Structure 1
């Protein structure tokens, strides 16, 4: 796949990281294969997870093709970037086409980035996972690479003002490749992936030196002020109702 736009976008992002003096803690990036197809499964806590998650594949010199909402491809600003970097548009009302596109990419040896939670987690803990990541991996005969991001929620997430102040820290933790058999039950494989990523998230949070009690960006189960998963589900449901009401109007 010919990439004209992706390399300069990466260069721009790296320059921005230096300007912001963004501190990275990267663990396990050697688990991202240097060749061949793979599904990269990431947790989702921020609107900048695409950028930071893609950066986590740079030590292996890989480019990640993210599956993202179709609306981003129609936007006058983000659309040319998303198409130029060969990301995959996902129409939630008709997802078969994007699924087949991802399978094709995997067969061509690409890394496809997927957020199994589908939406940003307001609790900053893992939501329930969709099964698409493991189903794609099984069909394409490639591994799933689990990745945990931490700290990105402090920059830009739901319900909070953006904060791109300098000297912030971000953690990227990459787990060992997970094989998914073609005959393996997708529900069981998805549960296995979620359990693995939950343990990775726990280790990443506990290893972070910055965990002030009551901080809005710290999960409630770690003494933070973020909504509990149950409260986050309620907020998500309210958001969906408001969107539906706006569409009706």
Structure 2
């Protein structure tokens, strides 16, 4: 699918022949666990799957120093695919922001910490933001999914403002990255396709986004840049690997696929969130071991509330 007069294979990627080669990063290329074990292992795994990678825009990544990479989110392997984008830029490494539940899995959490990824506790977002800023100030590449969760529509949905806030506080450039084809490997509501599938995946690194103005204004610019980049990548994908007959679950409705629209996807997400909250509440109730347990919990809460009220009365007044 690639014109060999224009493209060439480097590692597992198809890249334009005029893509420069870069000297290894002085420290990241030598990082023993992430750089020398994990990345080569991932590349071998993806090669075994026959994933047909195309990578563009490597020149937009800094050879040294920090950058915040803002990825679109269509599949569960975005984290893995996105982690490879900087390998052609002197074997640089991307430290991803990932939900804390992943870190809570015993072995997986150990691996994530070993790769110096960043735990995101949605109940304590400020701490995660501070950790990302600290990582960027140390000169790292940090990956973030501003949509927060997978877009079932395979279109850019509403973005959180955390990306522009982190970039502004750290002084790092905010660079959009588009991944297309990841949803064919594994996405929400559809079975995994982890065998030797030969699916094409196209990745493009864009130019830094202007983050001046308010967080809302900068986030709007980021969304526009991500939409344009994704649109460009999926158009090139269609030209290289299409035409497709239509009705594919992994193609957005706007392109003739059967994926839900953004509005439909939002309703599905809301229902999923409601059901998750119900399951969590049911689990909490079950752990209370029936009415006696519930009364005990309520009783303890009552005692704590009374103690807090008494402490407040005894506390010295702050008035002069």
Q: What TM-score do you get using the length of structure 1 for normalisation?
A: 0.96
* 1:197-217 deviation per Cα after TM superposition (whole angstroms, max 9, x unaligned): 101111111111234311000
| Aligned twin of 2:118 | 88
| Aligned twin of 1:247 | 280
Q: What TM-score do you get using the length of structure 2 for normalisation?
A: 0.75
1:20 aligns with 2:53: no
* Structure 2 residue matching 1:57: 3-state secondary structure: helix
The 8 Å contact of residues 5 and 81 in structure 1, kept in 2 or not, is answered as no
1:141 aligns with 2:171: yes
- Displacement of 1:180 in angstroms is 2.3
Matches within 5 A, 1:107-122: 107-122=137-152
Cα distance in structure 1, aligned partners of 2:171 and 2:210:
8
| Aligned twin of 1:55 | 84
- How many matched pairs? 247
* Structure 2 residue matching 1:109: 3-state secondary structure: coil
1:97 aligns with 2:97: no
Match of 2:155 among 125, 128, 131: 125
- Displacement of 1:139 in angstroms is 1.1
* 1:109-131 deviation per Cα after TM superposition (whole angstroms, max 9, x unaligned): 11111100000000111110001
| Aligned twin of 1:218 | 251
The 8 Å contact of residues 209 and 221 in structure 2, kept in 1 or not, is answered as no
Matches within 5 A, 1:197-216: 197-208=226-237, 209-210=241-242, 211-216=244-249
Q: Which has the higher contact order (CA 8 A, sep 6+)?
A: 1
Q: Which runs of 5+ in 2 are unaligned?
A: 1-26, 283-320
1:37 aligns with 2:66: yes
Higher helix share: 2
Match of 1:232 among 259, 262, 265: 265
- Displacement of 1:138 in angstroms is 1.0
* 1:27-67 deviation per Cα after TM superposition (whole angstroms, max 9, x unaligned): 11211111111100000011111110011111112111100
**Root mean square deviation, CA, Å:** 1.2
Cα distance in structure 2, aligned partners of 1:200 and 1:213:
23
1:171 aligns with 2:189: no
Larger Rg computed on CA atoms: 2
The 8 Å contact of residues 30 and 59 in structure 1, kept in 2 or not, is answered as no
- Displacement of 1:157 in angstroms is 0.8
